[in-house]
């Protein structure tokens, strides 16, 4: 198995632009998580899904952020419009019930 | 509410020396505890986990951790550091069952290994 796949690995954009981050979880893992990592705030859980349904989005910072999981093999995290303070590394992770979370390599987002 | 405190954001050890990374947690219910390692420009990789079985947990790469309920601690150790251990280490806590989906991470400890 290729593990969790995230794309792009690096994204540089200008303030106000829309950004879409993508994640392909490990096949069969029915929980999917989006995290954000910054120097100031560390690792924060933004949202997680179970069987493609959003369960807890209390970590989503504001309405500019949205996440979808249209099927078991794909999820997106969208920021519209983006702001410089959104610059961070965004991780996708997945989990099979009872086991630990498996993390992707992350997307490093820079908003200028 | 759960929280995790990692003492020391940076630790420097000599190659061959003991590695000790400290983690204290607070949890209102019996916790599940994890140590993850993050190498530069990579995602987090699980080192080991405690899920209420043996209090001494052995993980990958020679690491182990001991759960001490009385001290609310879950410190990570490795007897002899290797250059490849240079990375950032995160302690995390969750509740069991379905609630175990919400991991709370500590601030991380960056390990530097000196030759």
Distance between B84 CA and the closest CA of chain A, angstroms:
18
Q: What is the residue-wise DSSP string for A9-64? A: SEEEE-TT--EEEEEEPPTT--EEEEEEEETTTEEEEEEEEETTEEEE-TT--STT
CA distances (Å), origin A90, targets A55, A80, B51: 19, 15, 27
B88 Cα to chain A: minimum distance (Å)? 12
Quick check: B106 and A42 CB within 8 A? Answer: yes
Per-residue pLDDT at B98 exceeds 60: no
Whether residue B100 has pLDDT greater than 80: no
pLDDT value at residue A107: 97
Is residue A8's pLDDT more than 80?
yes
pLDDT at B30: 75
> How far off is chain B from A82, nearest CA to CA, in Å?
23
Give me the DSSP letters along chain B.
--EEEEE-SEEEEETTS-EEEEEEEE-SSPPEEEEEEE-TTS-EEEEEEE-SS-SEEE-GGG-EEEEEGGGTEEEEEESS--GGG-EEEEEEEE-SGGGGG--EE---EEEEEE-
* Alpha carbon of residue B97 to chain centroid: 21
Residues B31-84: tens digit of each pLDDT: 889 999 999 888 999 999 888 778 899 999 999 999 998 999 999 999 999 999
Q: Do A42 and B42 touch (CB under 8 A)?
A: no
Q: What is the percentage of chain B residues whose pLDDT exceeds 70?
A: 96
pLDDT at B28: 72
pLDDT for position B96:
60
Percent of chain A with pLDDT over 70: 97
Q: Report the chain B residue with the minimal C-alpha distance to residue A31.
A: B101
**Residues A33-83 pLDDT 10s:** 999 999 898 999 999 999 999 999 999 988 999 999 999 999 999 999 999
């Amino acid at each position: 198995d290729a593990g969790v796949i995230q794309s792009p690995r690096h994204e540089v954009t200008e303030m106000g632009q829309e950004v879409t981050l993508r994640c392909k979880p490990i096949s069969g893992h029915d929980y999917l998580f989006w995290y954000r990592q910054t120097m100031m705030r560390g690792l924060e859980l933004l949202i997680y899904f179970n069987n493609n349904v959003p369960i807890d989005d209390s970590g989503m910072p504001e309405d500019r952020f949205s996440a979808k999981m249209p099927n078991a093999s794909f999820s997106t995290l969208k920021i519209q419009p983006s702001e410089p303070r959104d610059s961070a590394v965004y991780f996708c992770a997945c989990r099979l019930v009872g086991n630990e979370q498996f993390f992707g390599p992350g997307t490093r987002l820079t908003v200028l | 509410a759960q929280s995790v405190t990692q003492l020391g954001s940076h630790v420097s050890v000599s190659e061959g020396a003991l590695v000790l990374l400290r983690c204290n947690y607070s949890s209102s219910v019996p916790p599940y505890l994890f140590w993850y390692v993050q190498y530069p420009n990579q995602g987090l990789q699980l080192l080991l986990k405690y899920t209420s079985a043996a209090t001494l947990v052995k993980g990958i790469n020679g690491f182990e951790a001991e759960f001490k309920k009385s001290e609310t601690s879950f410190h990570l150790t490795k007897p002899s550091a290797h250059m490849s251990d240079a990375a950032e280490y995160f302690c995390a806590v969750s509740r069991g069952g379905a609630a175990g989906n919400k991991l709370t991470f500590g601030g991380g400890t960056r390990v530097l290994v000196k030759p």
